[in-house]
Amino acid sequence: MNITIDGLCVVGKSVVGRRLAKQLGYIFIDSGLLYRYFSLTYFYLTNEQIQTKLITQKKEIIKNPLFYLKEFNIVYNLDKSTYILNRKRAAQLAKNNEIRKVINEIIKAFTSSKGFVVAGRDASINIIPDADIKIVLTADLTTHVARRYLENYDDYGKNIPYFDIKKDFLLHDLHSYKFIEDATKVLTLVINTTRMTIDQVSLLDQLEFYLCKLSVKSERASNRILFGHSFSFHNTNSHSANSATSLMGVGYPWYS
Ligand SMILES: Nc1ncnc2c1ncn2[C@@H]1O[C@H](COP(=O)(O)OP(=O)(O)O)[C@@H](O)[C@H]1O
Ligand SMILES: Nc1ccn([C@H]2C[C@H](O)[C@@H](COP(=O)(O)OP(=O)(O)O)O2)c(=O)n1
């Protein structure tokens, strides 16, 4: 079986994905790690140059999954400031559709057999559209920003102003919202993590995973399980969400 976990940043994809994979004896692939790895490897190249490099390198990478799945982890050895800087560069890289295509092809090739948990914002739509179980993690805007603030502060010792984080989020993450919206429409387990701790999300995940598995067997089409809070579109009781709506000039359907 293959499992996808979709969601924008800091909804817990990596933590939950890693725990789930460990529990099942599966391999966890964080697609964000590939964006960070290639942006690190080719830090000073333009997106177009990186695109050419990746197209040439793709075959070699696909032939050596075990080596590369380990190799990608060098990103975790970066010093804290470089890590944050590289994350920004990765966000730019991710806006290039050709690069996205190559990265997705690499992960697709790695996961052509079963036994993988793949996290990313387009995992269930573009990477493994035929995944057996698709989990979507969501959070409201304020939570996204607050978690990123805490992550920067606690993990990297950086006191990055709330407003800058929000601006970054709107610039770099919101464009992927469509993926998440689409992912919630397919066979899926949707968990709104806004008022949940990461442990609660993981536990719920593990528990409902089995439920979901059973439902997959019995009735694929009608299986959509929603957790966290009632599933609705809202942007009325949050100043932040309203700002986002007007800033982007689009509807801003945060799940609450
Ligand atoms: N439900 C949650 N409650 C509190 N903090 C969370 C929650 N989910 C994620 N986080 C925090 O957000 C940060 C990013 O988590 P991660 O799993 O890497 O998210 P993602 O892979 O979705 O970007 C971590 O510091 C993590 O502890
Ligand atoms: N499937 C993916 C995975 C990551 N990305 C982007 C999102 C981020 O800007 C970078 C790095 O991803 P990563 O998941 O490590 O970053 P976050 O901590 O979630 O912001 O790549 C993407 O566009 N599509």
State the complex-level ipTM. Answer: 0.94
| Per-residue pLDDT at 234 | 29
- Which residues of the chain are modeled with pLDDT < 70? 205-256
Q: In this structure, are strands 224-227 and 188-192 parallel, antiparallel, or unpaired?
A: parallel
Same domain, 142 and 254: yes
Please tell me what DSSP assigns to residue 220: S
**Cα(96)–Cα(199) distance, integer angstroms:** 34
Tell whether 145 and 195 lie within a shared domain.
yes
Q: Tell me which of 114, 143, 169 is where a domain ends.
A: 114
Using most ligand atoms within 8 A of CB, pick from 151, 156, 168 the residue to mutate for ligand 1.
Answer: 151
Residue 22, in any domain of the structure:
no
Q: Is the dihedral of CA 86, 88, 89, 91 positive or negative?
A: positive
What is the predicted pLDDT for the residue at 212?
Answer: 66
Cα separation, 2 vs 11, in Å, equals 20
Q: Are 239 and 156 within one domain?
A: yes
- Whether residue 95 sits in one domain with residue 31: yes
Judge if 43 and 1 occupy the same domain.
no
Q: Which ligand number lies closest to the CA of residue 155?
A: 1
Same domain, 253 and 146: yes
Question: In a 3-state reduction of DSSP, which class is residue 192?
Answer: strand
Same domain as 148, residue 41: no
Same domain, 59 and 109: yes
Same domain (yes/no): 166, 218: yes
Please name which of 206, 252, 196 lies closest in space to residue 5, comparing C-alpha atoms: 206
pLDDT of residue 208: 66
Structural domain range at position 235: 1-9+134-256
Q: Do residues 106 and 157 share a domain? A: no
134 lines ligand 2 (CB under 6 A): no
In a domain, 21, yes or no: no
pLDDT in the model for residue 99: 96
Residue 87 phi/psi, 5° resolution? Answer: -65, -35
Residue that terminates a domain, selected from 85, 114, 143: 114
Q: Is 184 within a domain?
A: yes
Cα torsion 142, 143, 144, 150: sign: positive
Burial class (CB in 10 A: 0-12, 13-18, 19+), 34: buried
For residue 94, is it within any domain?
Answer: yes
Last residue of a domain, one of 84, 114, 144: 114
pTM above 0.90, yes or no: no
Please indicate, yes or no, if residue 123 is contained in any of the structural domains. no
pLDDT of residue 216: 55
In a domain, 206, yes or no: yes
Residue 50 lies in a domain: yes
154 and 243: one domain? yes
Ligand 1 atom closest to Cα of 32?
Answer: 21
Q: Is the CB of 201 under 6 A from ligand 2?
A: no
Question: Ligand 2, closest atom to CA 30?
Answer: 14
For residue 146, give every residue at least 6 positions away whose Cβ sits within 8 Å of its Cβ, in sequence order, or none: 162
Taking only the tens place, the pLDDT of each residue in 111-143 is 999 999 999 999 999 999 999 888 999 999 999
For residue 193, how far is its CA from the centre of ligand 1 (angstroms)? 10
Total structural domains within the chain = 2
Residues 107 and 147 in one domain: no
14 is a domain residue: no
